[in-house]
Amino acid sequence: MREIKFRAKVKNEDGIIELKIVSRLTMFSGGGLYYAYCENDDYEYRLDPSDLMQFTGLKDRNGKEIYEGDIIKYHYFYFADGSEIEKEHVCSVKYDDSFANFDAMDKEGFAHFLGNASDDGIEVIGNIYENPELLK
- Asked if residue 123 and residue 94 are part of one domain, the reply reads yes
According to the model, what pLDDT value does residue 119 have? 63
- Asked if residue 122 and residue 84 are part of one domain, the reply reads yes
According to the model, what pLDDT value does residue 71 have? 98
- Asked if residue 131 and residue 93 are part of one domain, the reply reads yes
- Count the alpha carbons within 13 Å of 129 in the hemisphere toward its beta carbon: 18
According to the model, what pLDDT value does residue 96 have? 92
Contact 85, 100 (CB under 8 A): no
CATH number at residue 84: 2.30.30.290
Q: How many domains does the chain have?
A: 2
According to the model, what pLDDT value does residue 34 have? 87
pTM comes to: 0.86
- Tell me the β-bridge partners of 91: 72, 106
How far, in Å, CA of 85 to CA of 105, rounded?
Answer: 19
According to the model, what pLDDT value does residue 75 have? 86
- Count the alpha carbons within 13 Å of 108 in the hemisphere toward its beta carbon: 3
According to the model, what pLDDT value does residue 79 have? 87
C-alpha 76 chain-centroid distance: 19
According to the model, what pLDDT value does residue 95 have? 93
How far, in Å, CA of 33 to CA of 123, rounded?
Answer: 32
Contact 103, 111 (CB under 8 A): yes
Contact 26, 34 (CB under 8 A): yes
CA triple 128-133-136, angle to 5 deg: 105
Report if residue 1 sits inside a domain: no
According to the model, what pLDDT value does residue 118 have? 65
Average pLDDT, rounded, for the chain: 88
Which residues constitute the domain of residue 23? Answer: 6-53
Name the stretches of the chain with pLDDT < 50: none
